[in-house]
Amino acid sequence: MIITELLERNAKLYPTEVSLIEINPEHRPADQMTWKEFNLIESAPRDKYRREITWKEFDVKANRIANLLLSRGLKKGDKVAILLMNCIEWLPVYFGVLKSGCVAVPMNYRYTAEEIAYCAELSDADVLIFGPDFTERVNSVRTELKRVGHFFFIGCERPEYALDLEKASSHCSTCPPAVELDEEDDAAIYFSSGTTGFPKAILHSHRALINSCRTEQKHHSQTRSDVFLCIPPLYHTGAKMHWFGSLISGSRAVLLRGVKPEWVLRTVSEERCTIVWLLVPWVQDILDAIDRGEIKLDDYRLSQWRLMHIGAQPVPPSLIRRWLKVFPEHQYDTNYGLSESIGPGCVHLGVENVDKVGAIGKAGYLWEARIVIDGGREAKPGEVGELAVKGPGVMKCYYKNPAATDEILKDGWLYTGDMARCDEDGFIYLVDRKKDVIITGGENLYPVQIEDFLRTNDNIKDAAVIGLPHARLGEIAAAIIELKPGVVCTEKDIEEFCMGLPRYKRPRKIIFDEIPRNPTGKIEKPRLREKYCGKRLVEAQITS
């Protein structure tokens, strides 16, 4: 079965039912209705604040986009890059690409212009679909995008070299294109990164997509009466694959463009959301706002909210215990995954295992998991080894990178690079990461990129970036900087220099010290972590 068939099924069975709702809190009407006054009828506020489409409209938009791509000479297997903020157009674009037989290539909306160009070239992108948030970045590298033959735009202030996607597709057929697809056909390319910090293109099949739908529904039991609140970015496998539970069950989903605690709870209340996927910082922000009295739960309708689940980073058990004290009726779950395993679900805690909070769980539905040490021996309970997973969502390969593929794919097993252990009951706990990737607020930071930037400063002799524990964000990036002899440089000087980095890549902590390197020239980061992840520094950072 192909995932686009689920969309076509929903359009036939539930044509007039709402499939997607977009909420933009910054455009909320000034009257500030409460949930007691708000209802889902034509008189409710819409326009910029709230937009919705039915399953039939969703499918029609996807068909028009698919036929537009084919009319421009695109063929099965060609690559279409998607560079959009979360919006109601995102998923119809994605499914239009899939229906055409082309390969969808979602891009991180935080990419710099150079990263956009790099990933477009790496993935052999033939088309770029982008929105107004990216015009300046695309403009600056457009001449480098030599393979891209078509630019399509969604939104206002369209650049002259791009075509308006809505207008261009409006004249195309609403019927699904006659493109034969098989589960083993290429479907999507997502981007990850290795220890070098340079993105790798992860190629997934249609088989991976359809099975992620099955895994998600099995884990969270979505029915047509559920309403899923999606806040994380859709370019990421996590958000999209959790939404696949809505797709397979034919239930509605809400795309919230914002993460403020009030916005989250108000949207849950007004849209009657039953399932919400949050990241650790957002959970903490909501609880803190409640503790400060800034949010009063009686102001919201939350009784229908049945499940809160978390992913994308390690979850402090104390935070979940705190959440369940405030929301004792909630089910809780966590999922582990990576882009190479089509996102969350290859390891899964399960709502029935809340007593095991702290573990990432056991192998998910349709998956296998094991912990490997000593070149292949399976670890005994309590032993630490590398987590490996196997299942229908494992990537086909790193696109155009067979050497990197061979490093992590062995006999069908995906070696995650994460160190883990299991207990006597078979529940898996993450211990550490082989890679130096820092996960801060659910986003990956790649130290090499930041280190290379810091070394362009004439005052800096050497630099190393490590992650320090942080109560809200999970980790923060700390830059250890070794200055050139005789140089006077302050933390403020370094912070001002780092304004040249995207905000999310700027180190949160600056430390002046010597950089230890081993005889082969590699930075000895374990020594730095041992030195700077001490109790006093962590506590100081948590309270800052």
Is residue 174 domain-shared with residue 313, that is, in the same domain? yes
CA distances from 18 to 45, 243, 379 (A): 16, 14, 48
The H or E element containing residue 52 is strand 50-54
Beta bridge partners of 475: 469
- Evaluate whether residue 34 is within a structural domain: yes
Domain boundary among 279, 305, 326: 326
- Evaluate whether residue 464 is within a structural domain: yes
Whole-model pTM: value is 0.82
Measured CA to CA, the distance from residue 162 to residue 257 in angstroms comes to: 25
CB-based contact 447:474 (threshold 8 Å): no
Given this model, what pLDDT does residue 113 score? Answer: 94
CB-based contact 55:19 (threshold 8 Å): yes
Given this model, what pLDDT does residue 325 score? Answer: 95
CA distances from 382 to 425, 429, 431 (A): 11, 10, 11
Domain boundary among 306, 326, 346: 326
CB-based contact 430:190 (threshold 8 Å): no
Measured CA to CA, the distance from residue 39 to residue 54 in angstroms comes to: 17
Q: Structural domain tally of the chain?
A: 2
User: Domain with 458 in it: what CATH number?
Assistant: 3.30.300.30
Comparing CA positions, the residue from 150, 30, 142 lying closest to residue 100 is: 150
Helix axes 237-249, 206-220, angle to 10 degrees: 70
- Evaluate whether residue 257 is within a structural domain: yes
Given this model, what pLDDT does residue 441 score? Answer: 82
User: Domain with 127 in it: what CATH number?
Assistant: 3.40.50.12780
- How would you classify the pairing of strands 343-348 and 362-363? antiparallel
Given this model, what pLDDT does residue 485 score? Answer: 82
DSSP secondary structure, 488-540, as one string: ---HHHHHHHGGGS-GGGS-SEEEE----B-TTS-B-HHHHHHHHS-HHHHHH
Comparing CA positions, the residue from 468, 460, 517 lying closest to residue 491 is: 460
Given this model, what pLDDT does residue 41 score? Answer: 37
Residue range(s) defining the domain that contains residue 30: 3-326
Measured CA to CA, the distance from residue 523 to residue 57 in angstroms comes to: 54
Place of tokens 């791009």: 162
- Evaluate whether residue 388 is within a structural domain: no
Given this model, what pLDDT does residue 165 score? Answer: 97
- Evaluate whether residue 241 is within a structural domain: yes
Tell me the two tokens of residue 134: 């990216």
Given this model, what pLDDT does residue 538 score? Answer: 36
CB-based contact 395:341 (threshold 8 Å): yes
- Evaluate whether residue 366 is within a structural domain: no
Domain boundary among 303, 326, 349: 326
Per-residue model confidence as pLDDT tens for the chain (544 residues): 999 999 999 999 999 999 999 999 988 775 555 544 444 433 444 468 999 999 999 999 999 999 999 999 999 999 999 999 999 999 999 999 999 999 999 999 988 899 999 999 999 999 999 999 999 999 999 999 999 999 999 999 999 999 999 999 999 999 999 999 999 999 999 998 543 457 899 999 999 999 999 999 999 999 999 999 999 999 988 889 999 999 999 999 999 999 999 999 999 999 999 999 998 878 888 998 999 899 999 999 999 999 999 876 667 787 888 899 999 999 999 999 989 999 889 999 999 999 998 899 999 999 999 999 876 799 999 998 899 999 999 999 999 999 999 999 999 999 998 888 899 999 998 876 666 778 888 777 878 778 878 988 989 888 899 999 988 888 999 999 999 888 899 999 999 999 999 888 899 999 999 988 754 456 788 788 888 886 334 333 333 3
Sequence-separated (6 or more) residues with CB below 8 Å from residue 325: none
- Evaluate whether residue 312 is within a structural domain: yes
Is residue 450 domain-shared with residue 316, that is, in the same domain? no
CA distances from 53 to 15, 18, 242, 254 (A): 10, 6, 19, 11
CA distances from 367 to 192, 214, 378, 490, 536 (A): 21, 11, 17, 51, 41
DSSP secondary structure, 386-425, as one string: EEEEESTTS-SEETT-HHHHHHHEETTEEEEEEEEEE-TT
Number of H helices, E strands in the chain: 16, 28
CB-based contact 40:54 (threshold 8 Å): no
- Evaluate whether residue 370 is within a structural domain: no
Measured CA to CA, the distance from residue 509 to residue 53 in angstroms comes to: 45
